[in-house]
Amino acid sequence: MLKESLVYIAFIFLIFPVFFSCNVKQENPAKPATHEMLNTDLAFSDMCRQVGMKKAYLQYIDDEGALLRPDHLPIVSADAIKYISQLSDTAYTLSWKPAHAEIASSGDLGYTYGTFELQFEDTTLTGTYVNIWKKQKNGEWKFVLNSDNPGTEPSAMQ
């Protein structure tokens, strides 16, 4: 009888709490990183609007970053940086609005997508975009892939 009581007490104090600890809701470690990444996407757009596409893209591209552009093969790494460096961005203003951001549970890789506007003096082009972001060792976010899809109707952008 004493042995049965000890087994029962051991179950209550040692085993039983394990079952309840499985239901404790854990905070998602990726949630703060999602906000950081989204804020980076917004800062990237603001920088494009304020100082030009070239400076902004050179600031936010990862060394191994890739650009997907219409009628081009992927432009990667040093070629992407060279491509950006040769851009003339004085005749237009580029900006975008993210519609969604999601991040891996590891908190170091994620994506944003949304709509963009490319404003010239007499016309505005619109479209959709996606940025895939990677968190750097220093904590900054840089895009590893940027793709734009021009041609969305302006009325769809609202």
pLDDT tens digits, one per residue of 128-145: 999 999 999 999 999 999
Q: Which of 18-22, 63-67, 119-123 has the lowest mean pLDDT?
A: 18-22
pLDDT tens digits, one per residue of 36-47: 999 999 999 999
pLDDT tens digits, one per residue of 36-77: 999 999 999 999 999 999 999 999 999 999 999 999 999 999
- Tokens coding 81: 């940086």
Residue with tokens 């969604």: 100
With a CB cutoff of 8 Å and minimum separation 6, the contacts of 46 are 95
CA 118 from chain center: how many Å? 21
The pTM of this model reads 0.79
Using CA atoms, how far apart are residues 84 and 10, in angstroms rounded to an integer? 67
Using CA atoms, how far apart are residues 124 and 54, in angstroms rounded to an integer? 19
Using CA atoms, how far apart are residues 27 and 31, in angstroms rounded to an integer? 8
Domain residue spans in the chain? 28-150
Which pLDDT belongs to residue 31?
82
Sign of the alpha-carbon dihedral angle for 74, 78, 81, 83: negative
CA 142 from chain center: how many Å? 9
Question: Is the CATH code 3.10.450.50 the one for domain 28-150?
Answer: yes
Average pLDDT in the 9-35 region?
57
